[in-house]
Structure 1
């Protein structure tokens, strides 16, 4: 099948795309073979171009909407992807700003307790305890007194939470970022991850442009939807 070979796909994949509504329905010959036209080829190009920027599921939904003549639904899905990309960019910028604003954490032991740390951040001790219940800071305990002990990494986490909270982020939004700082072994390795994150957002943004261009060609080539005549 020329359509499959031209895109490095199997004939079964093309049939699956048609069955899923990604491609418009194909006419059949008398012997039952599907007949694919240049319109089907453009639909396939549009779908494959949409996937890198929007993801497989959303790209599928966009094509399904267009092929059932629900173009407004398709464009809404495109808009929603752009909104999500913008939110991801804002999150990245907030994290980068929070990291820049972190006070240097001493390399020596420098343990501190809840009261001094709260005063240092300008918050109440109860706020630190709330962050602890949310898993955002994980202080140890003094074996003699049972008091919370914040070591250098705990102070760093508390500072990062504080900066992100000031940026308007909810605790549940902050949790995965703190987890990434811990898994990276600190802020410095995370800076490399943030550069990678920025590169991925840039690539996704460019992919959305490519997908939009291919989708626009497909929309222009599709026949106008049939409108029922008024009775």
Structure 2
């Protein structure tokens, strides 16, 4: 929708109508936007990729704000909404089918590491994945038990699914693909992992594969 500079916009905080917390609100030409994601200066490419995915592929009205030390993405809201989280969550949250599919890919990769390379390498895989989760601030991944849960519980039966945003999925796919190449020395693991998507309902599988094909970081799996 828009790529703006700090001097183009007005940013204030307001009280959430249903929660005891302040909310940053960006105003531009009479329109209001809620903060969705923040990236540091070195993550410009990631910020632009997420912004383009939200605007071009998901039809969301979003602003990409460029500042000297960071990039941030803001989703359009109406201040008269009953719950300000609704508009932001709709733009920020990844589709449940995409979260399930990504978890399936990672779980099969993890099982391949354990079966083919042994328990020691599987533990190393868990450690590296935990580092990715911490670096990119994935919700609900703060303990070894939480990471193990995500690696071992069937995503089709997982309730609730982790509340991850699109940019989390981009980072997860990018990082685990790189890990797979490092562990196995080739990319044949990707085809084996993709076979796991047969467990998804046909419509969800087709939707995810289409999303994966258009994803700047996920299409390497195909």
TM-score (norm 1): 0.22
Judging by fraction of residues, say which structure has more strand.
Answer: 2
Question: Relative contact order, CA 8 A, sep 6+: which one is greater?
Answer: 1
Q: Which has the larger radius of gyration?
A: 1
Judging by fraction of residues, say which structure has more helix.
Answer: 1
TM-score (norm 2): 0.22
